[in-house]
Structures are given as C-alpha cells and as structure tokens.
Structure 1
Amino acid sequence: MTRPDLIATNAFYYYTDVDRAWDFYVDVLGFETVADYGFAKILRVAPTSYLTLVDEARGMHSAEEPKSVTLALVTEQVEDWYDYLSSEGVPMRAELRVAEGSAHDGFVAIDPEGYLLEVERFNPHEENVDLMPKLAAVDALGPVGGRRPADLLIQSTVFWLYYDDVPAAQTFYEGLLATDLLVDQGWAKVYQTSETGYIGLVDGSRGLHQATEEKGVTLSFLTQDVEGWLDRATALEVELRTPDLTDESGRVRVFVGYDPEGYFLE
C-alpha cells in the first residue's frame, strides 16, 4: 500500500484565553498567522511546521487536560534565543544547558498557559548522523513581525509525545507513516513527518512529562490526499473517532483517529 503524501505537521493546543496566547506567539516568538478563524489561529513555525491555538470552548480538548506535549524549536542559535526570551521575561522550566560533546543543547520555556517550549540545537554527533543533513538542507525561517530579532531562526520542529509503552508507539507510527527511526536517544525516538516536522516518542518515566490518560493536544498531519489517508488508517485498523470525512465549513476536510495511548490524530 503506497503511503499518501504528508506536506506539513501541525498540532492543536487549547487555551482559556486564546488571544493572550496568540499575542505571545506572534509578538514574542514572531510566528506568522497564516489563518485566523477567531476561535482558532494557525501559526507557521518552520517551513512545513505549524501550530494551531484553539479556544477550549470550541475545541476537542479542554485547557484543564494535562499538557502532555512539548514543542521543540530546532535552531542553531540556542544561546541567543535564551538571552532573548529571558529578556522578555518568559518563565523557564529548565535553564540553558550547553555541554561539550553533547548530542543536543538547549533549554525549556513555558508559554502563557503552561505548554512547554524546548529550544534545542542538535549537534554533530553519532546519534544525529541521519538528522544533520536534513537540517542542513532547510532554509530556516525567521520572524514575521513581533519583537523577535531577525537573526533568530527556526530550522525545524519536534512535537515530543509521552508514552508508557514506547515500543508499541513505535510500531504504530512506523506502520501508519511508513517511516523509519531517524534519531534514537535511548528513551526517546524521533521520526520525520514532513520536511521540517518531526515527532518524538518519549518514555513518560524519563521525559519532561509523564504519560497521561487525557492529553490536551491533537497532533495533525496536512495532506493533499485525505481520502487516501482515511483508507490507509481503516486498512491498518486505526481506531477512529470520526469514521468518515468531515467537512468543516468548506475550509478543510478531516478525520480523527487515536494512537495506541490516546493521542488524537487529525
């Protein structure tokens, strides 16, 4: 079975005050708003990486559900990003850590309602041998307005997800996405989902979050062949929340399924 295309990676985050979150991502982080539906704002983070901010009153999750996801902004300018976000008063979950010989350096910030943002540099290292050429081939994205300095770029994104059973999650995504493991960090496994979009499957006993039953995030894949993806998901017996395609006000056609531990996949 030939896998249909994936043209971009996205995730939906859910807020009690979506306009406040929007101000942060636009004014502080300098992300471009590519679509504004009022209750939902779609932001471009990297060339084929997006983040959608949703008013919880209109979304599939509530803002009270555990925020069991971390968005990693992959960049070469980790130190400068840290200085900038610190100067903006953005709270930190983990301070800047740079170590000689490390496979990756970075820090973890917190958005206005508690979602974690990791700013991360992947270094030349045997762990990253297959990843580095992909990052080098990308035209990194700068800010579109806001206060973010023009030289602070984003190459790619990783949505880190947290599991009790990482091997089972690997089997699921390798089958669904027809993709191979790209980066093996031991207790975290990274897969490519679009040119600049990646997902990371993390052991919940070791990561920034624990594995949780409820999850305040929906992972989203953009495609030109949503019918093909529905056929593929059905053939692979993926559990579906919406067994048929849904047309959302003529703007987009979608279906929603679940991964093995309950992350919503749109």
Structure 2
Amino acid sequence: MEAFAEMVAADVKPLALSEPMHAKDVDNLWSEAQEIAEKYGIGVYREGNLVPTQLFPIEVAQGKEVLIFHKENALQAYLDLKESMASGNNQQAEARRFGRLLGYPPHYINQLLAKHSDFRTLPDFGIKATNIFLYYKDLSRAEDFYGNLLGMEKVSDYEFAKTFRVSEDAFITLVDAELGRHKAEEPKTVAIALLTDQLPEWYDFLQEKEVEIKYTYKPKENNAHDGFVAVDPEGYLLEFETFKQHPENEKLMPQLRRYPALPTALNAHPLELGFYGTVTWMYYEDLQEAERFYEEQIGLPLIVDQGWAKVYQASETGYIGLVDEKRGMHNYTEKKGTSIAFVVDNLEDWYAYSQKHAPFTLEREMYSGKEDRYKAFVGVDPGKYFLEFNAFLEHEDNTRLFEVLSK
C-alpha cells in the first residue's frame, strides 16, 4: 500500500487501487491504510462497487471492496465517471477514461482492452518492419542515389519498385511514379530521418559528393538531437539525425542501443558509415487528432515527446514521427507523394478486423501484387496519409528480403 500511496503523492498515478478484498479484510487494513494516506498527504477511499469497465474482467471486484488512494480532484473525477456509467455509458471511451485515472499510458490501456474485449490494434497482429514508399519520375537516378551514393543494400527489385534496407527492420521503397499509387508531382510532405552517430562524417561525405544540403550541420552541446537535412534527387528531405542523452529521449536511448548501425556499402570511405534506424516524419493540421489515432487505433507506444512533435515506435528500428505543421519542415497538404507501410505478421486477421471495426477509412481492399509477390491493403490516417499494410509472399524476387526479415 505504501508504494501506491507514494506514487499518488508524486503524481505518478492519479488513483491507485488495492487488490480486491473481502470486507472483513479491508476492516483489518483500514487503520493502516488511513495512516499511510496521512503520511503522504493524500486520501484513501473505501470502494464497495468498483466501476466495471472493459479494462478488467467484470467479476474482478464483485462482492469485494478496493481501497483507492487518491488526491481530491482525482477522486472526484472517478466519482464523475461512476455517475456517468450509472446512466448507461460503458463503452471503450469509459474504459480509457478509467485507465487514464489509473495513470496507464494509451498502449497499456490498449493491451487491457484487447485482453478483455474484442478491441485490437496493429501490434496485436505483429509488426515485422516499417517501410516508406517514395515516387520518382527518374527511378534509375533515385536507385543510384540510395544504392550507390548512400550505399544502402537493395533487398528486392520488382523493376517498377526497388526496396532498400536502412536499418535492422526499416526500409525505403523507390517507385516508378508512372506505375505507382502516387504521382511525382504530388507534394513531398514527408521527411525521413536517417539515424546515425556519424553526423560529421556523413556531412563531409555528402558535401564532397555535391548532394544538396537544405539545412546545414550546426551541432549544439545541450540539444536533444543534432542533424542536418539533405535533399534526394527529386526533392524528398533526408534528415541525418542523432538523438542524444537528454530528458526528452530517456525512453528512446536504450532502444536505440539495442541494435548496432547497419553498415552501408561505401567501401571507399575510410570509416564504416551506417544507420541504426529511421523516423518517418509526417505533418498535420490537427496534431492531437493524429496522436489519438496512432495511439488508440493503430496502437503505437509514444517514445519521444517534443511537444510539437511526437515519435512512436513501430518496429525495432522503425519509428513514426507526427509533427505540427506550424513548426515542422513542411506545411500540411491534402495530397502526399508518399505511402507509409507496415509489414504485418498476421495480415489477413488485421484486414478482417479493419473491415469489421473500421479503425480507419479503407482506401483499397486487400489485393495481391503482380506475380503474387505480396499482399496488401491500404487505409488513410486523419492527415490523409496512405497507410499500406502488407505481407511478402514466397517468390524469387523476395529471397533476400525474406532473409533479412527472418533475422
């Protein structure tokens, strides 16, 4: 009980619940609970009828009581919720409201909902990798830039689409705009952060190769991150970025260290340059709406909060970044010359769930790609970015891709 009381006192949790107990057991603990609450300057409430939400089994507290450690406003918020539910409101929204009162982050609320209801999010179906589709007039020039100049490994070649591996499970696919979902003329309202600890080396290398630099490298000692922005052959922005030890990055840094940088094939360079992850930055008019969508419908955990930009972990080394268009490198546009893709373990089940529960608008129903090399379906997020969910099939063109995805 003391640990719960301390968490409430420190505002780690608005409310903290004891385990459900029989009334006689609560009687035995009541004096001690009051003393603990007084010690930490909070209150304790004896609840004999805990609200039954979708977070927990209905029978979890039936016929039992719980002790609720609280501050005054949090208890009132709980009682307000209880009153609302007494009038018949008891859906997912009420469960989330109760979860927030218990201090649970959205991804943990998602896990509890999935355990005790038919609610699911994308991680329940397995995310094997992230991928971003970019669209080009001159595909061969783009292929030369990413493959030969940046030294990324090409892991599949469908002729009209070439996929390059950036890090452990993050990919970039270059598409012939004449044959792809988007046209080359559409606004390139996306930026790809290539995560590296070798910013000076990359900066010197790209300058030597006369790659266009949009924002120069100006490191600052106390920044949460440093970087510079280069421009690819048809105008997509590439942010070479290093996240540093900083309060903002305390959840991210241990994850970044789990996987070494994937070396590029720049054999002529004296240093082994490489990348250890990607962040796909997307730009929104309504950042809060986008946050709710990726947290509650897609189900990605927030790992960096910059205020006007949020970073979510999608795969082990692939991240999704949501940016307020008023502060970011791009303004919001209706159309986007990109698609954001997730390689899904159980694609058929995720598709069936998406059809039944409609977590997003379906742009295209499930289809098989040419020569049955992959299956996919496409949704749309609140900012009108296309989200492609796919699975690769056994095919000779996918041999190397299967090798890296199975690691």
Between the aligned partners of 2:359 and 2:272, the Cα distance in structure 1 is 46
Q: Are the equivalent residues in 2 in contact too, given 1:30–1:147 (CA < 8 A)?
A: no
TM-score w.r.t. the length of structure 2 is 0.64
Q: Identify which of 318, 327, 331 aligns with 1:210.
A: 331
Between the aligned partners of 1:146 and 1:15, the Cα distance in structure 2 is 27
Residue equivalent to 2:68: none
Q: Which amino acid aligns with 1:144?
A: A
Alignment of 1:24-173 (within 5 A): 24-144=145-265, 150-173=271-294
- Compared CA separation, residues 168 and 259, structure 1 to 2 (3 A): same
Q: Which amino acid aligns with 2:200?
A: E
Q: Are the equivalent residues in 1 in contact too, given 2:309–2:321 (CA < 8 A)?
A: yes
Per-residue Cα deviation, 1:84-122 (whole angstroms, up to 9, x for no partner): 111110001100020011000000000000000000000
Which structure has the larger Rg over C-alpha atoms? 2
Unaligned runs of at least 5 residues, structure 2 = 1-113, 115-119, 389-407
By how many angstroms is 1:186 displaced?
1.1
- Which structure shows the higher helix fraction? 2
Between the aligned partners of 2:246 and 2:288, the Cα distance in structure 1 is 24
- Compared CA separation, residues 49 and 123, structure 1 to 2 (3 A): same
Q: Which amino acid aligns with 1:152?
A: L
Q: Which amino acid aligns with 2:205?
A: Y
Q: Identify which of 314, 324, 333 aligns with 1:193.
A: 314
Structural RMSD (CA)? 1.3
Per-residue Cα deviation, 1:197-249 (whole angstroms, up to 9, x for no partner): 00100011111111100100000000121112213333143100113x10112
TM-score w.r.t. the length of structure 1 is 0.96
Q: Identify which of 239, 255, 261 aligns with 2:377.
A: 255
Residue equivalent to 1:265: 387
- Higher mean C-alpha displacement, 36-45 vs 138-147: 138-147
Per-residue Cα deviation, 1:2-42 (whole angstroms, up to 9, x for no partner): 52100100011000000000000011100111011111101
Between the aligned partners of 2:267 and 2:157, the Cα distance in structure 1 is 17
Q: Which amino acid aligns with 2:382?
A: P
Q: Are the equivalent residues in 1 in contact too, given 2:266–2:273 (CA < 8 A)?
A: no
Q: Which amino acid aligns with 1:250?
A: D
Residue equivalent to 1:241: 363
Count how many residue pairs are aligned between Structure 1 and Structure 2: 265
- Higher mean C-alpha displacement, 173-182 vs 64-73: 173-182
Between the aligned partners of 1:232 and 1:76, the Cα distance in structure 2 is 40
Q: Are the equivalent residues in 2 in contact too, given 1:176–1:236 (CA < 8 A)?
A: no
Q: Are the equivalent residues in 2 in contact too, given 1:163–1:201 (CA < 8 A)?
A: yes
Residue equivalent to 2:400: none
